[in-house]
């Protein structure tokens, strides 16, 4: 019994450029992080559409993306608002980050190779150099933390932490705003790095947990 051969596959369809709504989502994300759109504020879709020269369809799709990330809250018949974090939201986010990142640090202390250890030292050196420039310090701080998660290589952990850290940028009372907290945070990073480079998993995890505990206390103090 003869069988007909399957038709040869045709040429692959070229990948489409980044969808417009993704570009819009990124523009809005950056405005939120820059506080051009403040936490708790209503998002004027029509005004933004006019500014960006787009229709409401990509705007609405972009807002859905930001809502899935927790940056935007959709309210029935009232539209979209920039998410405002409550004290409980902040506390719970810190608690989860503490659990996830302390375990990652322990894993990295045990498993990082020499090149990765050198890279973490280099990232920490950037943090040291940025002490007198708060925005640079914020950025270097995040790069250091996220690189530990990348080296750990647990993609689920990375996804959860990325989402949590994104939402944490909505916190009005960031711990590093507190007087003297930058210096304290820097010393905590020195200790964490030293423990990782020494291959001490238990101490690395303990120091990361303490780092987040201190950050939460500073946030709560700043809110008083």
- Answer for the pair 91, 215: CB distance below 8 angstroms, yes or no: no
- What is the C-alpha to C-alpha distance for residues 26 and 47, in angstroms, rounded to an integer? 17
Q: Which pLDDT score is estimated for 32?
A: 94
Structural domains of the chain in order of their starting residue, each with its CATH number? 20-82 (1.10.10.10), 87-223 (1.20.120.530)
As a dihedral over the C-alpha atoms of residue 211, residue 168, residue 39, residue 90, rounded to 10 degrees, the angle is -60
Q: Note the pLDDT of residue 7.
A: 52
Residues above pLDDT 70, as percent of the chain: 87
> Could you give the angle at the alpha carbon of 218 between the alpha carbons of 213 and 224, nearest 5°?
130
Q: What is the pLDDT of residues 13-32, one digit of tens each?
A: 444 446 899 999 999 999 99
CB 161 within 8 A of CB 212: no
For 197-214, write each residue's pLDDT tens digit. 999 999 999 999 999 999
Asked if residue 143 lies in contact with residue 135, where contact means CB atoms within 8 angstroms, the answer is no
Q: Which sign does the torsion angle of CA 25, 28, 34, 39 carry?
A: negative
CB of 82 closer than 8 Å to CB of 169: no
Q: How far is CA 172 from CA 19, 79, 89, 120, 169, in A?
A: 31, 22, 12, 29, 8
Is pLDDT at 4 greater than 60 in this prediction?
no
Per-residue confidence (pLDDT) for residue 223, from 0 to 100: 62
Query: Is the Cβ–Cβ distance between 20 and 58 less than 8 Å?
Result: yes
Chain centroid offset of residue 6 CA: 47
The pLDDT of 108-124, averaged and rounded, is 98
Mean pLDDT taken over the chain: 89
Cα–Cα dist 153/102, whole Å: 14
Average pLDDT over residues 92-115: 97
């Amino acid at each position: 019994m003869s069988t007909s051969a399957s038709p040869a596959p045709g040429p692959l369809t070229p990948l489409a450029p980044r969808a417009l709504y993704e570009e819009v989502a990124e523009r809005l994300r950056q405005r939120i992080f820059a506080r051009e759109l403040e936490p708790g504020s209503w998002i004027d879709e029509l005004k933004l559409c006019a500014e960006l020269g787009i229709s409401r369809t990509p705007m609405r799709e972009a807002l859905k993306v930001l809502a899935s990330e927790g940056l935007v809250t959709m309210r029935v018949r009232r539209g979209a608002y920039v998410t405002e974090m409550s004290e409980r939201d902040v506390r719970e986010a810190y608690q989860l980050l503490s659990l996830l990142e302390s375990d990652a640090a322990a894993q990295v202390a045990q498993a990082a190779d020499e090149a990765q250890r050198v890279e973490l030292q280099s990232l920490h050196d950037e943090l040291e150099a940025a002490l007198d420039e708060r925005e640079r310090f914020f950025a270097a701080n995040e790069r250091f933390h996220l690189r530990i998660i990348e080296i750990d290589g647990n993609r689920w952990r990375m996804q959860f932490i990325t989402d949590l850290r994104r939402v944490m940028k909505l916190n009005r009372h960031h711990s590093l705003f507190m007087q003297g907290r930058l210096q304290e945070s820097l010393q905590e990073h020195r200790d964490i790095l030293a423990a990782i480079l020494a291959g001490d998993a238990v101490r690395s995890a303990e120091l990361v947990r303490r780092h987040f505990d201190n950050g939460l206390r500073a946030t709560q103090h700043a809110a008083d």
